[in-house]
Structure 1
Amino acid sequence: MSWPVLWAGVLIAALLWPLAWPGELALRDMLVLDSPALSPAALGTGDLPARNAPQDGLLALLGTFLPASWVARGLILAGAAAGAAGAIWLARLQGAGRLSTLASLTLVLWNPFVVERLLQGHWSLVIAGWLLPLIAAAALSGRAGVAWLAMWAASLTPTGALFALATGVATGRGRRWPTLAVGVACSLPWLVPGLLGGGSASAESAAAFAPRAETHVGTPGTLVGLGGIWNAEAVPASREAGFALAGVLLFALLLTAARRVPAPLLWLAGIGLGGAVFAWLAPGVLSWLVAAVPGAGLLRDAGKLTVLALPAYAAAAASTRTWAAGLVLALALLQVPDAPRALAPLAPQPVAVDGSLVALADGRDVLLVDEPPLVRRADGAVMLNPLGKALSTVESGALVVDGVLVDAPSPRWMSARSAWESGDLAALEQMGVGVIVDGGRIVETAAGPQPRGPGLILLAVWLLIPAGVWLARRR
């Protein structure tokens, strides 16, 4: 076994060790039950924008015969392995030696973006970020089929689909139109509901999710180091103790090798870093964009854009030589030296769900009148309310950040709540609400389960994309 493979195994084990514990994945935005509901919301056709399609639909479908939380663990591990493969492949394209390859590997797998986003619960976005170097390496090598399959895997989340599409098209070398077609097909589970349902985000949301400066480096320095998540609670202690300085030094060192990085990767890095910095410099422009343009809300968390620089960073690290490569490796680790300890909260938890309520609902839409969207684990960490994943609910989607209403409740939820308060069960039935839970009181109507056909069709199309890629490559 080669040194790069061994080193990749060490890094992956050091980062993902908490996932080996039993339980279900429950931390902030990440909640993966063993048996989530195969609901319209999970399939992207619920009351809110399809921000978790096809991820939630896939997990719910597989959860009918496998523990979905272990499926998610497998996907995260596979994503890390794919990231390692992409880093090694890019390093070979750059003619890297052993130490330079190890440096590239370290930078791809172990960076603030990975750690902070995992702590926020953005596990599928982390997978997408890890896959970007693989997409770039495959496309630059003329292996379009591999690039397309990696794009498909990255499209578990809408933002991942967009970033994978951008990377694939930028590095496609004569296959940009087929790559664009694959990227659009991968986006159908969230693109179609978005086009049919419309909707946009609030201007306040852009400010709430703005990049956040970390100690001693300011916002630009934080972003070039691939950090800067908006939630301070998802930032490792080392980043607030000054270790973010290592990211600025690392960026400066990588710049010395930029001339040896393929131009498409530099363009991607410029778009990603430039877009994130621009969002910080001109927050009003981003606020207008997410409020006025349907679908632009996907980019309201502008710090996510920085991951587009990861393939260029990996190629630059692979282009360094001797002492510089060793310094890149050391600085990459020093950006988040406490990553293994910081990621301990990822450890799965026992999650209690009212099984009798799930059985009573039997797939029908449930109005949870006074259930909070967020609850706390036994250790005090925040997690999503498990009823929202275990049941097919009338989704509120209301989001308050630092006392500011960022996302208003959905129209259907407001109408259902109003009908319940006025005692109009007929209106609730007409809206498709089958069960109402108000404290200890449970009321049923004659409404049956809502149709899942459109969402299942979109999920089926998405699942068939690898077969389509295989057939296309055989022609």
Structure 2
Amino acid sequence: MKERTRHLVAALTGLGLGLAALGPGLAPGFVLSYDMVFVPDPAFTRLTFGLTGIVPRHVPSDAVVTALATVIPADAVQKLVLLAIFVMACTAAASLVPSERMAPRLAAGVCYAWNPFVAERLLLGQWALLLGYAALPWAVAAAARADERGGGRRLVRALIPAAIGGFAALAVSGLTALVVALVTVRGRGAAKVVGAVAVLSLPWLVPGLLRPGGLPSDDTAVDLFAARADTPFGTLGSLLALGGAWNGETVPSGYGTPVIASLWLVVVIGAFAAYRTWCREPAWRRGAAVAAGVGFAVAALGAVAAPVLEGLVGLWPGFAVVRDGQQFVAPLAVVVAAGLGAAADRAADARLPGVALAAVAVPVFLLPTLAWGAAGDLRAVRYPDDWARARRIVDGDPAKGDVLVLPWAAYRSYPWNHGRRVLDPLPRYLHRRVVVNDAVTVGGTTVAPEDPKAVRLAPATAPPATTSAAALRDAGVRYVVVDAETAAHRPAGDVREVLRGRDLVVYRIDGSAAPPGDGVPVAPAVAAWVVTGLAVAWSIGTPRATLSLPLLGSIKPRSRRTP
């Protein structure tokens, strides 16, 4: 079987896994779950590029989605992106197994695309992080060859999905690639990794550094977002099994029961043993193992040494990316997948094809509730008609002014979204500046808001009964949108009701002052995008370079041997 055919088979397998995992989410409409927010007809606004003064966690992923949505419907964009995660994950992991047989490659690919990490992050709605995760095996292989001729181009290509994902995805992939390069090719290769990550980070790094007040620092959030036990084996055992997400509501149904958790942990430990014993040929073997160890240590830091992490965040706010530690077990998943593929290859050598095929099926068998939209949790819904009416009113008004959303909370549980929590979609749905309370409350503890306008407007919004239209007018608020408990959240004072529906009420405040300009300068952000765009164009402007398979030909399959 030719190498391109093997890649095609792995890609089609990944597509099948994606179709199985999304299930009802593939129906017309949008899947809205926690941080996963897609809206119909998105527009390029200052928010898209992180210029409004909020922390640009959504940059550049929102810009890429908006660009794609100019060509095809936005709900189709979401489905294609989610399916691409499974296709890339399966294909990338399969490419790490240097075997001519398909079963070992598919064992690695299926394991990497279908595991507790993917399930929990998908339910958390962190599709942007999963983009970087999906391409991480390519980044590992590229980092191990970064000192070769053309190594820099390969490295940038392999990191493009993580760059699209934004700061968290690039932090995970960048740290992994750096450790691999330091272990395998050292100085020059590591410098290329640092340079590639720095250039690809510019679209979100520049607005983040230039936002009013700089990067936020809140070490109280360390304990809130630390890894949690979702198996009987405690936090560390859960992380070892590729689980341990901080949000217990995103654990797949049935996962973590003693029997399933024990069987899955046996598979993981067996994959580690196979990786150490039989995964000897690739140049990245030792570097990936060290990266997995480093990632596991980072993942566990908030759970076992919270004061240390709090001190780091206090020292430099950039360390806040480590608060959600479980995301750094991603390189461990690479090792587990490669180890399972090596075990399947050795079983095939020993003329045990049934064992090799079992290795392909075991991840799906042990985590069946990822299928069918995570057992029905991920379902496509349509935005109510009231939302479209509100957008026509708000966006059609030539007068300037911001939009304030009440109730004053970051996450919503809409009845039309089956009560599933989702980050407020209105800032992306409406095409003017929308102010929401971006403070996050977990278990009774609240992380301080980061949007400077939300901080200023907070006194005018609580308690709801005293929300003052005059104060909002002076702050430059033109509209107040209430998406729940409408009667209790009518602003006090001179306001005009311009829309009342079952799902939404919109009030207009006439005579609003001009909103204060506290955003990010445009020119530096444009320069950042230009530099990053040129780097991406340089990386793909080589003969035979592709985005879908950036490392084709980098790993030569060994000849089949007899035992």
TM norm. shorter chain > 0.5: yes
Give the superposition deviation at 1:97.
3.8
Give the superposition deviation at 1:409.
5.5
Instruction: Give, in whole Å, the separation in 2 of the partners of 1:308 and 1:410.
Output: 33
Give the superposition deviation at 1:90.
0.3
- Other structure's SS at 2:368 match: coil
Instruction: Give, in whole Å, the separation in 2 of the partners of 1:472 and 1:64.
Output: 28
Give the superposition deviation at 1:4.
4.3
Letter in 2 for 1:147: L
Whether 1:85 and 2:126 are equivalent positions in the alignment is no
Select between 237-246 and 418-427 the one with higher mean Cα deviation. 418-427
Whether 1:35 and 2:41 are equivalent positions in the alignment is yes
Change (3 A) 1:463 1:73: farther
Whether 1:133 and 2:133 are equivalent positions in the alignment is no
Moved over 6 A (4+): 448-452
Look up the match of 1:366.
403
1:36–1:63 contact (8 Å) kept in structure 2: yes
Change (3 A) 1:53 1:24: same
Look up the match of 2:508.
442
Match of 1:149 among 138, 154, 157: 157
Look up the match of 1:239.
255
1:272–1:306 contact (8 Å) kept in structure 2: yes
Change (3 A) 1:73 1:15: same
Whether 1:225 and 2:207 are equivalent positions in the alignment is no
Give the superposition deviation at 1:15.
1.8
Gaps of 5+ in 2: 461-466, 482-488, 491-496, 498-506, 545-563
Whether 1:469 and 2:539 are equivalent positions in the alignment is yes
The within-5 A match list for 1:353-432 is 353=387, 354-360=390-396, 365-377=402-414, 378=416, 379-391=418-430, 392-408=433-449, 410-418=451-459, 421=468, 423-424=470-471, 427-429=474-476
Change (3 A) 1:365 1:426: closer
1:149–1:469 contact (8 Å) kept in structure 2: yes
Letter in 1 for 2:539: V
Identity of aligned residues (%): 26
Instruction: Give, in whole Å, the separation in 2 of the partners of 1:129 and 1:348.
Output: 24
Give the superposition deviation at 1:184.
0.9
Give the superposition deviation at 1:55.
0.9
2:108–2:341 contact (8 Å) kept in structure 1: yes
- Other structure's SS at 2:197 match: helix
Match of 2:198 among 155, 168, 184: 184
Letter in 1 for 2:403: V
Whether 1:212 and 2:228 are equivalent positions in the alignment is yes
Instruction: Give, in whole Å, the separation in 1 of the partners of 2:402 and 2:119.
Output: 36
1:222–1:247 contact (8 Å) kept in structure 2: no
* Cα displacement string for residues 195-233 of structure 1 (whole angstroms, at most 9, x for unaligned residues): 223233422211111211123221111101111111111
Match of 2:383 among 335, 351, 359: 351
Look up the match of 2:64.
58
Instruction: Give, in whole Å, the separation in 2 of the partners of 1:216 and 1:206.
Output: 23
1:139–1:147 contact (8 Å) kept in structure 2: yes
- Other structure's SS at 2:223 match: helix
Look up the match of 2:78.
72
Look up the match of 1:281.
304
2:154–2:539 contact (8 Å) kept in structure 1: no
Give the superposition deviation at 1:386.
2.5
The structure with more radius of gyration: 2
Whether 1:159 and 2:159 are equivalent positions in the alignment is no
Letter in 2 for 1:181: G
* Cα displacement string for residues 241-279 of structure 1 (whole angstroms, at most 9, x for unaligned residues): 232223321221122123335111011100111221232
Gaps of 5+ in 1: none
- Other structure's SS at 2:32 match: strand
Select between 397-406 and 192-201 the one with higher mean Cα deviation. 192-201
Letter in 2 for 1:311: V
The within-5 A match list for 1:290-329 is 290-320=313-343, 321-322=346-347, 325=356, 328-329=359-360
Change (3 A) 1:162 1:447: same
Give the superposition deviation at 1:424.
4.9
State the TM-score, normalizing by the size of structure 1. Answer: 0.88
Instruction: Give, in whole Å, the separation in 2 of the partners of 1:216 and 1:473.
Output: 51
* Cα displacement string for residues 298-321 of structure 1 (whole angstroms, at most 9, x for unaligned residues): 221111111122222222222222
Instruction: Give, in whole Å, the separation in 1 of the partners of 2:422 and 2:254.
Output: 23
The aligned length equals: 469
Change (3 A) 1:228 1:425: closer
- Other structure's SS at 2:48 match: coil
- Other structure's SS at 1:296 match: helix
Give the superposition deviation at 1:334.
4.1
Match of 1:248 among 265, 273, 278: 265
Instruction: Give, in whole Å, the separation in 2 of the partners of 1:326 and 1:148.
Output: 35
Give the superposition deviation at 1:390.
1.4
Whether 1:169 and 2:169 are equivalent positions in the alignment is no
Give the superposition deviation at 1:236.
0.9
- Other structure's SS at 1:18 match: helix
- Other structure's SS at 1:368 match: strand
Give the superposition deviation at 1:427.
4.5
Look up the match of 2:207.
193
2:54–2:452 contact (8 Å) kept in structure 1: no
Whether 1:453 and 2:522 are equivalent positions in the alignment is yes
Look up the match of 2:553.
none
2:157–2:540 contact (8 Å) kept in structure 1: no
